[in-house]
A and B are shown apart, each in its own frame.
Chain A
Amino acid sequence: MSVSDTPKRSMRTPLGRVRNLGAAHSGTSDFWRQRITAVAMTLLMIPVIVIIMMLLGRNQAGAAQILGSLPIAVILLLFIFASAWHMKIGMQVVIEDYVHNEKLKLVSIMLNNFFSIAVALASTYAILKLSSGV
């Protein structure tokens, strides 16, 4: 049996292999959260479409009244939370795939975090404001 017939063996231990947790340095947690948020949004899709349909053709007073009701506010908050998290992970995957300059990549990922958190917080604040009626 020649050397080339033996399977290549790494000297790294299994622990050493997982310690750096792959290219994203966070293992599979983002993969899993991407799926949780996707399932959540799919389940919420019909209620969210119904809510948007209810708002069609109404003025601000009518819209504010509907958006401020408890079940509708909760459904929208869940949907926004799932959306913001999902899109943050999705955009990070796109950045990691296409941006190869390390510094530009870090800046892009940072801006992606800022944008996603801003979208989530602004929407959440608006819904809470409508719910409290101030």
Chain B
Amino acid sequence: MALSIVHRATGIALYVGTLLLVWWLVAAASGPAAYANVQAFTGSIIGRLIVFGYTWALMHHMLSGIRHFVWDLGYGFKANEREALTWGAAIGGIALTVLIWIIAYAIGGGR
């Protein structure tokens, strides 16, 4: 599994993606017009895809990071344990992303 490079790639994506977070917070502090621009973007198809990708990158990076933390503590180095941790992070990242988006749509975020 080449998940180590995915950890790095998602980290870089999250780094660039903080621009969206900054834009959103600064717009909220600026006023209704600026905030409407952010909502127009995040509500568009492209915007939704980017935020969906951002959600996945964050969830995957977090779980993959927890995997590294387990290794830092000296556990999980056996072949089957490494495989389990890696698959757990990969599948868990996708599962959490889908779960978050289902909840978001259920509470009306899809409007």
Q: Tell me the A residues contacting B by CB distance below 8 Å.
A: 35, 38-39, 41-42, 45, 49, 53, 56-57, 59-61, 63-64, 67, 76, 83-84, 87, 90-91, 94, 119, 122-123, 125-127, 129-130
Contact = CB atoms under 8 A, between A and B. Distances in A.
A53 B12 CA distance: 24
Nearest to B8: A94
Contact of A38 (B18, B19, B69): B69
Given A53-B103, A87-B14, A127-B25, A60 B65 contact: no
Interface of B: 8, 11-12, 14-15, 18-19, 21-22, 25-29, 31-32, 34-36, 62, 65-66, 69, 72, 100, 103-104, 107-109, 111
A76 to B, nearest CB: 8
Given A38-B65, A41-B62, A87-B11, A126 B32 contact: no
B4 to A, nearest CB: 12
Contacts of B27: 60
Contact of B22 (A56, A64, A119): A119
B15 A122 contact: no
A126 B103 contact: no
Nearest to A79: B21
A56 B32 contact: no
Contacts of B12: 91, 94
B109 A53 contact: yes
Contacts of B111: 57
Nearest to A122: B22
